[in-house]
Amino acid sequence: MSSQAELPDEMDFPLEGVRVLDLSRVLAGPLCGQVLADFGAAVIKVEHPARGDDTRDWGMRVGKTETTYFNSVNRSKRSITLDLQTPEAVQIIYDMLPQFDVVISNFKHGGADKMGLGYDKLKSIKPDLIYCTVAGYSSHTPEVKRPGYDLVIQAEAGLMAVNGDQDMPPLKFGVAVVDMMTGMYAAQAVLAALFRRERTGRGRRIEMALYDCGLTINGYCGLDALQLGHEPKRYGNNHPSIVPYGLFEAADGPLIIAVGNNSQFEKFCRQVIARPDIVEDPRYATNVERSRNRASLLPILSEAVASFERDVLLQRLAACGIPSGRAAGLHEALVSERTQQTGMVQTVAHAEAGSTTVFAPPYRLDGQRLPVRCAPPVLGEGTREVLQQLLAMSDEQLQQLQQRGVLTVPEVSSTSV
């Protein structure tokens, strides 16, 4: 685990000076906001005063109001609490809005308009606003009112049908891949809109649908299915057209072996597993033949690989220039020397827990990794500071709003916006 994260003395954040109002919750919308925060935007996350974001109750507890799930998509943000069902809270949004560049929302269809927080209303207040909505299904389809859930979309978009082995039922991905990719796609769209606004002065409405992004993730597998005209086979950890290319079990653990061409296969047989007879068999001499005869070849290779210890194989594979690697457990991977060298896992100060572990942004600019600017926020930690800074609210005004249930003002505080 890397040591306490420190901000570099001089870091040129590309989005410094951009303000983002994050009205979204759960995963896709908050991940979009986190990407913008990573690049230096001041992201203000608006949450319900009592329960906050739903994900504050998902995963393992960190402090009193955070969880591992929440922390995975909310680093480097501030949190303020507003009950958007109250007119006072909506008016606060109106009053703050001219100081923001981007709004992210994922309300149910019609919900934002009902509360007075839809695009047309907010655009009338901030004409050059960039407004990004995330929904389950496109507003241009009859299913627009359906709620969007990652697991449902994985099933409906065909992603579960390409995951796992041929004799298995449909299998979901280990993480909420549709939510995560939708958040990334949304951030890309916001960045493009910000770039365009710099040139034209005009804002933009962005609509992201989980189902659309789920289809996109299918990539070349989806195009294969369309070209075939029927359901493609599933190959699990193996490659549909390259053999051997997948997961194998050595005598003491799993490893990946990715033989990419015929030259590598000859080295694999002769120098790695000491079975020159295999490459000399015309059934396996070329990749086309190996792919055609995979049913007879893979058991032979699996038996040969299983007779060696994993480290011996990895050393031989590396010496031959054949791509390979250990199939690590998740915890094993995260605490490995390789991960430590990346600086991707960092410990940051936390107002309640003392410290907490988060992932660093994956981006490097001019050779320097973007830092974690602050830990994921305690619920409402920035309510007082943000509203006093942006709207010059007095402590008395905040107290009155708190008494009416519009917001909460905890004592925890951190940095300015």
Give the residue numbers marked as catalytic. Answer: 179
Q: Is the peptide bond before 232 cis (omega within 30 degrees of 0)?
A: no
Helices (H), 201-256: 210-217, 219-228
Q: Which residue has the tokens 């109750």?
A: 57
Say how far apart CA 53 and CA 24 lie, in whole Å: 8
β-pair type (324-326, 345-350)? unpaired
| CB 46 within 8 Å of CB 107 | no
| CB 334 within 8 Å of CB 345 | yes
Q: Which residue has the tokens 């653990």?
A: 253
Question: Would you give the distance in Å from CA 175 to the centre of its chain?
Answer: 9
Query: Which residues are CB-contacts of 217 (< 8 A; sequence separation ≥ 6)?
Result: 157, 159, 177, 178, 181
Say how far apart CA 289 and CA 292 lie, in whole Å: 5
Q: What is the DSSP letter of 48?
A: -
Q: What are phi and psi of 133, to 5 degrees?
A: -110, 145
Say how far apart CA 266 and CA 252 lie, in whole Å: 25
Other Cβ atoms within 10 Å of 352 Cβ, number: 14
| CB 258 within 8 Å of CB 313 | no
| CB 135 within 8 Å of CB 208 | yes
β-pair type (204-209, 102-105)? unpaired
β-pair type (204-209, 66-67)? unpaired
| CB 378 within 8 Å of CB 63 | yes
Name the token pair of 104: 């992210």
| CB 92 within 8 Å of CB 82 | yes
Say how far apart CA 260 and CA 301 lie, in whole Å: 15
Helices (H), 286-394: 287-292, 294-305, 310-319, 330-334, 337-342, 383-391
β-bridge partners, 205: 131
